[in-house]
Chain A
Amino acid sequence: MASDIIDPTRRDFVMIASAAFAGIGGAASLWPLIDQMNPDASAEALASIEVDLEPLGEGQAITVLWRGKPVFIRHRTPEEVSMAKKVDINALPDPEAQNTELPEDAPATDKNRTKEGHEKWLVVVGICTHLGCIPKGQGLTDQKGEYGGWFCPCHGSHYDTSGRIRKGPAPDNLAVPPYKFLNDTKIKIG
C-alpha cells in the first residue's frame, strides 16, 4: 500500500500552490469591488470647471459648485485688498497659507492666497474649517463678520477679506483650491 501513497510533501506543495494562485485571483477580483466606490466618470468629468468672471463687479461675489463644494469667488475692492495685506501674519490664529499649490508651511500672506497680477480676486473653498458649515458673506446684505470677510453662523467664526480665520473656534484659514487664470476674466478651478 505504501507505494501507492503519494509523497505528502509534494501533495501539500501542489495544494498550497493552487490555493495561493486562487488567492491571487480572489484578491484581484476584490479590486473592482473596492474601486467601484471611487468617483465615477461623470464625477471626474466635473472635476474641473471654468468660471467666467466678466459679469462680476467690484465688491461682488459669486458662489460656484466645484466637486460638490461651494467655492467663493470675490471681486475685492482696493480697500479690502489693502486691509488683507496689512495684517501681521504672526498674530494670526493660523499662520499658514492653506493654498494647495504652495508648500504647507507657506505663510498666510494675502500674496500667497491669491494669484500674482490678479490680487483683486479671492478664490476660496466656502466651507468653515470648524465643522463644515457654509459661512455668510457672499450676498451684498450678508453679515460679513468683524473682519469684513465672512462670518460662520454655526459657531461664530470670523474670516477676514483674505479668507483667514481671525476669531472664533475654526482652526484653519479657508482653503484655496487649485485654480488658474485662463485669461484676465476666466478661471479654471481644479
Chain B
Amino acid sequence: MSHPSTYEPSNGFSKWLDRRLPVLRLMHGQFIEFPTPRNLNYLWTFGGILSFCLVVQLITGIVLAMHYVPSGDQAFSSIEHIMRDVNWGWLMRYSHAVGGSMFFLAAYIHIARGLYYGSYKDPREILWILGVLIFLLMMAIAFMGYSLPWGQMSFWAVTVITNLFSSFDTIIPGVGSAIVRWIWGGYSVSETTLNRLFSLHYLLPFILVGVVGLHIWALHVVGNNNPTGVEIQSDSDSVPFHPYITMKDAFAMSLFWMIFAWLIFFAPNYLGHSDNYIEANPLQTPPHIVPEWYFLPQYAILRAIPSKLLGVIAMFASILVLFFVSWLDTSKVRSTKYRPIYKWFFWLFIFTCIALGYLGAKPAEGVYLFYARIFTAYYFIHFLVVMPLIGVIERPKPLPNSITEDVLGKGSSPSGGAGKPEAAPAAPENR
C-alpha cells in the first residue's frame, strides 16, 4: 500500500524495533488502518472465518498427531485411545473432524460470494487463482486426513480415489497402473500407503498456510471487492479495518462458533459415516461407498460420465475450470446485483451444485444417474457458455456512482463528511 502510514511507535521498544524490522508498522497498516469498503455485507466475514478454521485445524491436528499411531494395526485403535483415554481427546478429535466440515462449508460460501459479486474480475485475477489453489490443497488435505482413522470408509475411499489414476491406462497402457502402484507403495492400499498419507497430511497444511499468506497479500494489494463492485474512490467510501471490520467479523465469527460448537458437542458424528467406526477390512467393501459431504458434487460428476477416463477428467475439470473464470466472464460489471439475466443463471448454478451433492449420495443408477448427467452438463455449460454469452448480450442495471452513494442514497457527495469516520485513511492506490 502506498498511502502514508499513520503508525506512530508509542514506546521506546517499538521505536527501536520500527527502525530495524517495521513489523508493527506493517501490522498496523494491514490490519488496523487498512481501508475497507464500508458496504461489505456479512458474506465478507467468511474470509476471517476461514482463517479461524485453518488455525483450529492446525492446532487440533498437531495435538492429535501427538497421540495418533499411523500403523495398519494401531491407527484405528489409537483413535479410540484418543477418544476414550487421552485427556480431552474426544474434544480434539471431534473438533478436528467437525472442523474439516466447517472449513469446507465456509469455503463454499466464500467461493459462492466471490462468484456472485464478481470478485475474480480485473484486478483480482491472481487473488482468485490463489483461492482456487487453496481450494485444491484443501481437497487434497481433507482426502488424506479422512484416510487416517483407518475405518472402512477411509480404506475404501483411498482405494477408489487412488484407483482413478489407473484410468490413464486408456491413454498410455501401463502408465496409470504404474502411478497407482507408486502412490500405494505396493499392490494394494496398505500400511505403507497410510504412512505416506499421514506424512503429507501433516506437511501440506503448512504449505496451505503459505498460499493463504499470498492470498491475503494479494487481497491487500488490490483491496476488497464489495457488493456494488464499484471500487473505492474517496475516503468516505471506506472504513479502517479496525474497529469496523474487526468487530463485524468478530460478531459473525461468534455466530459461526455457535454452529461449530453445536456440531462438536451435540452432533459430532452426524456429518460422518457410521461405516468409518468399523476397522478397515481389505476383504470386504461397504455396500455404499460415499465420500464426505463436501466431495459429493464432484463425486456425482465423476459417476455421471460412463467412461472411466472421461469421468476422472470431468471431475478434475470441474475444479480446474474455476481457474479461468476471470476470463470466461465477459461482463462489464462485477456484481450480479446489477445483472438482471445472469442473476437467474447464478441461482440455477447454486441449485445445480446442491443437486449434484444430493445425487452424489445416491446410488449411480436409474433416475439418479439421469439427473446427475443433466446437472453435470449444466455445471460446465454455466462456465463455458452462459458466463461468456450473457456478459455480451446482457444490459446491466445502472451502477451507483460510488459506494457512499449506494449506502446513503443519491445526492450525498462522495467527499461529503456524512458518516465519515474519524480515522479513515486514503483509498488504496489510485489507479
Contact = CB atoms under 8 A, between A and B. Distances in A.
Interface stretch (A33-41, A74-82, A112-120): A33-41
A1 interface: yes
A102 B31 CA distance: 58
Contact of A40 (B59, B85, B247, B417): B85
Interface in A30-59: 32-33, 35-38, 40-42
B88 A35 contact: yes
A22 interface: yes
A41 B86 CA distance: 6
Contact of B87 (A4, A18, A35): A35
A15 interface: yes
A42 B88 contact: no
Contacts of B59: 33
Interface in B386-431: 417-419
Interface-central residue, B67, B85, B250, by most chain A CB under 10 Å: B85
Contacts of A22: 250
B84 A32 contact: no
B97 interface: no
Interface range for B: 10 to 19
Contacts of A42: 81, 85
Interface string B291-316: 00000000000000000000000000
Nearest to A45: B85
B395 to A, nearest CB: 39
A32 B66 contact: no
Nearest to B418: A1
Interface in B61-83: 63, 66-67, 81
Interface string A1-22: 1001000000000010010001
A32 B250 contact: no
B243 A15 contact: yes
A1 B89 CA distance: 55
A2 B252 CA distance: 29
B243 A32 contact: no
A37 B63 CA distance: 8
B62 to A, nearest CB: 9
A100 B310 CA distance: 72
Which among B66, B88, B250, B419 has the greatest number of chain A C-beta atoms within 10 A? B88
A18 B81 CA distance: 37
Nearest to B64: A36
A172 B84 CA distance: 39
Nearest to B253: A22
B92 interface: yes
B417 A1 contact: yes
B247 A15 contact: yes
A37 B66 contact: yes
Contacts of A40: 67, 81, 85-87, 89
Interface residues of A, number: 14
B89 A36 contact: yes
A36 B243 CA distance: 35
A33 B89 CA distance: 9
B93 to A, nearest CB: 11
Contacts of B66: 36-37
A116 B372 CA distance: 82
Interface string A145-164: 00000000000000000000
A36 B250 contact: no
A83 B408 CA distance: 98
A96 to B, nearest CB: 34
B183 interface: no
A32 B85 contact: no
Contacts of B86: 36, 40-41
Nearest to A31: B88
B91 interface: yes
A61 to B, nearest CB: 33
B85 A36 contact: no
Contacts of A35: 87-88
Nearest to B243: A15
Contacts of B243: 15
Closest 3 CB pairs of A and B: A32-B88, A41-B85, A40-B85
26 contacts: A1-B417, A1-B418, A4-B419, A15-B247, A22-B250, A32-B88, A32-B91, A33-B59, A33-B88, A35-B88, A36-B66, A36-B67, A36-B86, A36-B87, A36-B88, A36-B89, A36-B92, A37-B66, A38-B87, A40-B81, A40-B85, A40-B89, A41-B84, A41-B86, A42-B81, A42-B85
